Amino acid sequence: MTLPNGVERREFDGRESLATDGPTVSDEPSIGGWRRWNPNRSKVGAMLDHGMEHGLSGGETVLYLGAASGTTVSHVADFAGPTYAVEFAARPMRDLVGVAEDRQRLFPLLKDARKPESYAHVVEPVDLLIQDVATRGQAEVALANRQFLEDNGRLLMAIKARSEDVTADPETVFDEVVATLEEGYEILDRQRLEPYHDDHLGVVAVPNTDG
């Protein structure tokens, strides 16, 4: 699988790993400006490491839902274009603002991904919608934010089974979430994200023509 421009496989401590070229955020190893992208700490990193059909070339305009303290979205902003990072909680937002100080293309938004109308006046049409939110109704969030995605854009989504139903079989949860997602998207690829993330499903999708 071809990686986006700005993402490479580099060797850190004798082991090959994904890496992006940008300022370090925490304690990740960095060699010559290239910082390790740890798939154990990033659903998107796990999706790329698994070779999912991401279809990215680099330079895309991004809306990232569930940016948290900025670990993954900082890597995304390293290879993407303008990156709008939505996070609901104030504490991780403080860290995210600090991450954005070193990245001119990263724009933190203290907003609720379940209420896209609250940031519709800020976010431009995007090529890539990334979703990593820990809430029930994950498919509904992706459908509500579909309005920002260009017709030829892509959705990269990490579905958390336990956020939907902590007692249900994860595969049953995944099937139900994907079935709802198909009301507005065509699924291109779906893969479990083990061993990096238990009970998570990675999904790559495009807007469907009649959604």
pLDDT, one tens digit per residue, over 29-42 is 999 999 999 999 99
Whether residue 195 has a cis bond before it, omega within 30° of 0: yes
Q: What pLDDT shows up at residue 148?
A: 98
Q: What pLDDT shows up at residue 106?
A: 98
CATH code assigned at 71: 3.40.50.150
Distances (CA, A) of 11 to 30, 188, 189: 10, 30, 28
**What mean pLDDT is predicted for residues 93-110?**
96
C-alpha torsion sign, points 111, 53, 81, 146:
negative
CB atoms within 10 A of CB 188: 15
- The terminus-to-terminus CA distance of the chain in angstroms comes to 29
211 pLDDT above the threshold of 70: no
Q: What pLDDT shows up at residue 142?
A: 98
Domain with 178, as residue range(s), is 42-207
Q: Which residues are annotated as a binding site for S-adenosyl-L-methionine?
A: 71-72, 87-88, 112-113, 132-135
Cα–Cα distance, 156 to 75 (Å, whole number): 15
pLDDT, one tens digit per residue, over 107-154 is 999 999 999 999 999 999 999 999 999 999 999 999 999 999 999 999
Nearest to 88 by CA among 128, 56, 132, 153: 132
Q: What pLDDT shows up at residue 174?
A: 98
Domain-located, residue 177: yes
Domain-located, residue 156: yes
State the pLDDT confidence band at 27, using cuts at 50, 70 and 90: confident
Domain-located, residue 55: yes
Q: What pLDDT shows up at residue 26?
A: 84
Q: Give how many domains the chain has, as a whole number.
A: 1
pLDDT, one tens digit per residue, over 49-95 is 999 999 999 999 999 999 999 999 999 999 999 999 999 999 999 99
**What mean pLDDT is predicted for residues 188-193?**
98
Domain-located, residue 54: yes
Considering the chain, what percentage of its residues have pLDDT values greater than 70? Answer: 99
Domain-located, residue 30: no
Q: Which residues are annotated as a binding site?
A: 71-72, 87-88, 112-113, 132-135
Domain-located, residue 19: no
Domain-located, residue 161: yes
Domain-located, residue 8: no
Model-wide pTM > 0.75: yes
